[in-house]
């Protein structure tokens, strides 16, 4: 049996935006992203500032909290996913949140988030999501009621990382069927 080296990503040129009203949380997530190899991380403390950051700098990947003042992460995502009104509607969005209830996952999915991640944040879980976004991006779907990443996770992605269950990954398709 030939064992091939896990894919290593050089993230030096990938830009990120971290949006969270808690400065300690922003510090934590920024620390993780920088240690993964990225060099450019924008920060915002609420959804309104987050929208400005995304529109001004066009970050490659956004990591956002849900519960925030002014505009929360869910509303921000909906505003981003406006192909006729927002500059970068296809921006990959990772929602990193303390919410873990099934109904919250469905809400986030229907708002158009790309990946959902529960706090407490783990380096492995965040890296896995980033890797998936870069190497296996989902196509987008546009319908009368939805614009965003395809909400069904393709079978070929299902065993990307055999330890996903340990990282509190919520299979969007599975949870949708249970919904």
Partner 1 sequence: MSEQKNQGSYEVIQLPNKLKHKVKVTGRGRGVDLAAIKRAESALAELSDQFDGWLGDEIGKLKDARRQVHEAGINSTTVETMFRASHDIKGQGATLGYSLATDICASLCKLLESVEPVGKIPLPLIDQHVDAVVAVYRENMKAPDHPVGAAVAEKLLDVVLEFIGGLPASPAATGDKPDERAAS
Query: Which parts of this chain interact with partner 1 (CB under 8 A)?
Result: 3-11, 13-14, 22, 24-25, 27-28, 31-32, 34-37, 60-61, 65, 67, 69, 90, 92, 97-98, 103-104, 107, 119-121, 123-124, 126-128, 131, 133-135, 137, 139-144, 146, 150, 159-162
What's the min distance (Å) between Cβ of 71 and partner 1? Answer: 13
Q: Residue 92 has which token pair?
A: 């990959």
User: Which of residues 72 and 79 has its CB atom nearest to partner 1 in the complex?
Assistant: 72
Cβ-count burial of 65 within 10 angstroms (0-12 exposed, 13-18 middle, 19+ buried)? buried
Shortest Å distance, C-beta 114 to partner 1: 12
- Contact predicate 129/138, CB 8 Å: no
| Alpha-carbon torsion angle 51, 52, 55, 58, nearest 10 | -90
Supply the minimum distance, in Å, between the C-beta of residue 55 and partner 1.
Answer: 18
d(CA 27, CA 51): 20
């Amino acid at each position: 049996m030939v064992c091939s080296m896990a894919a290593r990503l050089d993230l030096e040129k990938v830009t990120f935006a971290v949006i969270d009203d808690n400065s300690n949380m922003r510090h934590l997530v920024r620390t993780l992203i920088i240690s993964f190899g990225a060099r450019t991380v924008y920060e915002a403390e609420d959804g309104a500032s987050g929208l400005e950051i995304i529109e001004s700098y066009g970050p490659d990947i956004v990591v956002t909290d849900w519960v925030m003042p002014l505009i929360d992460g869910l509303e921000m995502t909906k505003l981003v996913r406006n192909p006729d009104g927002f500059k970068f509607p296809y921006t990959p969005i990772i929602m990193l949140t303390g919410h873990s209830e099934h109904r919250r996952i469905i809400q986030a999915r229907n708002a158009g988030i790309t990946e959902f991640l529960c706090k407490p944040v783990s380096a492995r879980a965040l890296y896995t999501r980033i890797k998936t976004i870069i190497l296996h991006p989902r196509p987008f779907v546009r319908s009368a009621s939805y614009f965003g990443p395809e909400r069904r996770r393709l079978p070929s992605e299902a065993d990307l990382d055999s330890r996903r269950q340990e990282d509190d990954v919520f299979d969007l398709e599975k949870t949708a069927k249970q919904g």
